[in-house]
Copies of this chain bind each other. A is one copy, B any other.
């Protein structure tokens, strides 16, 4: 006997408003992300598929990186409200948009809005799903290391531009995650407005054990050089640089500049570890990556090895549309409509699904679990780095890789007694 087949296809028109910056200096600009969203849209429409009846009408609007995002939402929504908002990424752009959309019962999915404030899903950001790991998720990597290696004190050095404030929000996550159990000293610099004196910063290191930096590559290098000259890179302190995406806010782990300090810097960097996103790929990802790159080239944007055209944001917004399709389809089949934003949002949370680069798991509050890598210099002569361990957020586990050397993460006593020759 053949099983009874129920037609699972659901027909629905969905208005999607994508709010991202037009300015291509952002790695999550409209032109860079659009091809990924269109890729997902085409895939969902494959005839006979579960989601082929979902007809997504896309509208792309400039968010800028600040208040303009709200204006875009409101001015486009007065007549007819969208059913789904994708974006914004910038912290100050996202906050009012998410509040307004939540008030209107519209789901918002962003691959940004990574700041810790967005975890308040009870009152303010009720309809926000974060498809990329937030700064708090990243900070779990540090919490796990502090626990594992028994560190007690951290100095957080961060460069705050007082505008987009990527490093401020990055380090805020670490601060919140560590503050209850460890002694944390935050130190703010502002390289945009004032000269940063690495020697002055170094003086603050003495009181700490672990130095966690979020700053541009040149400042990180200055600090490491200053630390090395004062012999602080001998194992009495552990240094970290946070580098989340290929973005000038963050360092890039490279000591090489072609100047006279390269040799010194290479030595200094042997004490520096980098925490970065763990990126995975799977066979399907190749095709996605090729197609997106092709579209980006077609749009006249530069394609290169370092400009990171296929980044966390691009992947995230692809996965956002897929996740929404899953949840909407499920909601409709359970008697709800596309206007039941809270219901659809709820069905996106506490769920695992197959994203373009691998499995994507969202926690109970609709925030994606994150996987992060720690990189260290494994060949001090050549000055080359490799990943020495990975942290998997979904089960809070560490994976040590062959290059991992526990000695490197063990604090050497700073007041160790100097051995003097014993008397004959």
Contact = CB atoms under 8 A, between A and B. Distances in A.
A144 interface: no
A281 B20 CA distance: 53
B124 A96 contact: no
Nearest to A68: B103
Contact of A100 (B71, B77, B103): B71
Contact of A74 (B67, B79, B100): B100
A71 B99 CA distance: 9
A304 interface: no
A398 to B, nearest CB: 35
A103 B96 CA distance: 14
5 contacts: A67-B103, A70-B96, A74-B74, A74-B100, A77-B78
Contacts of A99: 67, 70
A230 to B, nearest CB: 29
Contact of A71 (B67, B78, B103): B103
Given A70-B96, A78-B79, 6 more contacts: A67-B99, A67-B124, A70-B100, A71-B100, A71-B103, A74-B74
A78 B103 CA distance: 15
A241 B103 CA distance: 40
- Please tell me the size bucket of the interface on A: 10 to 19
A103 B74 CA distance: 11
Nearest to A102: B67
Contacts of A67: 99, 103, 124
- Helix, strand, loop or mixed for chain A's interface? helix
Interface in A77-121: 77-79, 96, 99-100, 103
A273 to B, nearest CB: 34
Interface string A132-143: 000000000000
Interface in A56-82: 67, 70-71, 74, 77-79
Contacts of A71: 100, 103
A407 B269 CA distance: 61
A364 B100 CA distance: 33
A74 B100 CA distance: 9
A17 B70 CA distance: 20
Nearest to A71: B103
A124 B96 CA distance: 14
A120 to B, nearest CB: 12
A339 to B, nearest CB: 16
A117 to B, nearest CB: 12
Interface in A121-171: 124
Contacts of A70: 96, 99-100
A190 to B, nearest CB: 15
A202 to B, nearest CB: 25
Nearest to A75: B103
A70 B103 CA distance: 10
A103 B72 CA distance: 11
Nearest to A73: B74
A120 B100 CA distance: 24
A70 B96 CA distance: 9
A141 B103 CA distance: 42
A180 to B, nearest CB: 15
A365 B78 CA distance: 32
A183 B103 CA distance: 45
A74 B74 CA distance: 7
A77 to B, nearest CB: 8
A78 B104 CA distance: 13
Taking each of A71, A74, A77, which has the highest tally of chain B beta carbons within 10 Å of its own beta carbon?
A74
